[in-house]
Structure 1
């Protein structure tokens, strides 16, 4: 029973957060750095993580403590680990770099989001207690990202998935986690819907529509799920994983 509860919880901390998309660099005074980061954001958007990582490593030589360089490096390391069959070494590196970003500027919401991404992926290879602790960290740093910034759609998506999957554990499983491991923050499907809708308001991405549809399925609201799927299937492919998400959405619709 405990193992099955924790296995279900892994969905909340490990699945499909996506990556932070292109972000505004208007606040960066160094024009050359801002231009380089804009190019790197476009590489990451296209899924060219290896090329982006090479550029970021070069930038770190000149800007070793710049939070905008560090959080992008962390997120890219996590994405590279995902591309390499969930390579733990990359996730560990991503966590280390996220911590460096937070040391450089703990008020940067994207640094917290990068930490949330790394914590979630590291849970894949963790023991039971560590998985629970990392789940708490995912929620904490997603919350902090949202508190500090008003435009991190990925953080809302991460928290939305967290809310959905923790709520789906059911009362008994949550009670076991609470009794044995100290519990988890409150979660609900309604909070998940609010988070995904907030993410869509920031950037209307196929990823956000898909996760909202999955949440409506969990809530036994098939008509609402179909509506979201129909919308996303008509949306243009913009991000590197949009084609895969559309295919998954078609499969989800066929099952309704």
Structure 2
């Protein structure tokens, strides 16, 4: 099932760039991973500070987390564990505000931190994943050509993150979302994008399923179930979609945006009845 056939160009562009993590791609998709990986610095004092930051983000105290991370950035300007956390915290803040100008500023700050992270260590998988997230968010307020370029960057940096570290559930999630959304724009719309803007990398809805499944193998999380369920809906596989959406409702809310994901899953299930 492809719902984009015949889509007007103005809507097409919005769909093309929905793939860049709109709806949540990773505001908190790495909260639990961050907690588990807080020992990615050998500095005990910094490690302790990052554990505290992870706890703040887990509790939804994004502004307090951002302020602490900004202070740590000034003290440790070239520490990737500080910078990639700052990227996600800025995206958390962006998702949490209805002020469009403020949201844009948060996403610009996220991109700035992501660039510093890669400049510090281009071999860091987390720095590449943070860049994928930041590029996706920055694309939301960009013009069409820039959005397509940032879309390509989302895929490129997610791939690079997984080439370096194949255990990052967030990177599989990001890539899965990319594949699904590009598939959803349809053959003729993709032809327009290719003709006018140089096209996008090859996509596969089956690869989207595999990526979300792998993310779930690594971290059994509400957000992974939700996006896999939405992928099955796009494939016109209602039974498989119901299974994943029910899993969203059955799991306890553990992260700040989980209640919203549960509400979305409930609406989608109602639509299937």
What is the CA–CA distance in structure 1 between the aligned matches of 2:56 and 2:137, rounded to whole Å?
22
What is the CA–CA distance in structure 1 between the aligned matches of 2:52 and 2:110, rounded to whole Å?
21
Asked whether the 8 Å contact 1:163–1:192 carries over to 2, the reply is yes
Question: Is structure 2 residue 178 aligned with structure 1 residue 170?
Answer: no
Relative distance call for 1:188 and 1:207 in structure 2 (3 A) is same
Alignment match, 2:68: 55
Deviation at 1:188, TM superposition (A): 1.4
User: Which one has more relative contact order, counting CA pairs under 8 Å at least 6 apart?
Assistant: 2
With normalisation by structure 2, the TM-score equals: 0.90
Alignment match, 1:212: 228
What is the CA–CA distance in structure 2 between the aligned matches of 1:224 and 1:27, rounded to whole Å?
37
Asked whether the 8 Å contact 2:180–2:205 carries over to 1, the reply is yes
Which residues in structure 2 correspond to 1:90-109 (within 5 Å)?
90-109=106-125
Asked whether the 8 Å contact 2:125–2:160 carries over to 1, the reply is yes
Alignment match, 1:17: 25
What is the CA–CA distance in structure 2 between the aligned matches of 1:134 and 1:57, rounded to whole Å?
25
With normalisation by structure 1, the TM-score equals: 0.96
What is the CA–CA distance in structure 2 between the aligned matches of 1:33 and 1:107, rounded to whole Å?
21
Alignment match, 2:50: 37
RMSD: 1.3
The total of aligned residue pairs comes to 256
Deviation at 1:28, TM superposition (A): 2.0
For residues 88-139 of structure 1, what are the alpha-carbon distances to aligned partners after superposition, in whole Å with 9 as ceiling and x for unaligned? 1111111111100111111111111111111111111111111111110111
Question: Is structure 2 residue 236 aligned with structure 1 residue 252?
Answer: no
Deviation at 1:38, TM superposition (A): 1.4
Which residues in structure 2 correspond to 1:1-256 (within 5 Å)?
1-15=8-22, 16-18=24-26, 19=28, 20-22=30-32, 23=34, 24-85=37-98, 87-256=103-272
What is the CA–CA distance in structure 1 between the aligned matches of 2:40 and 2:31, rounded to whole Å?
17
What is the CA–CA distance in structure 1 between the aligned matches of 2:123 and 2:109, rounded to whole Å?
21
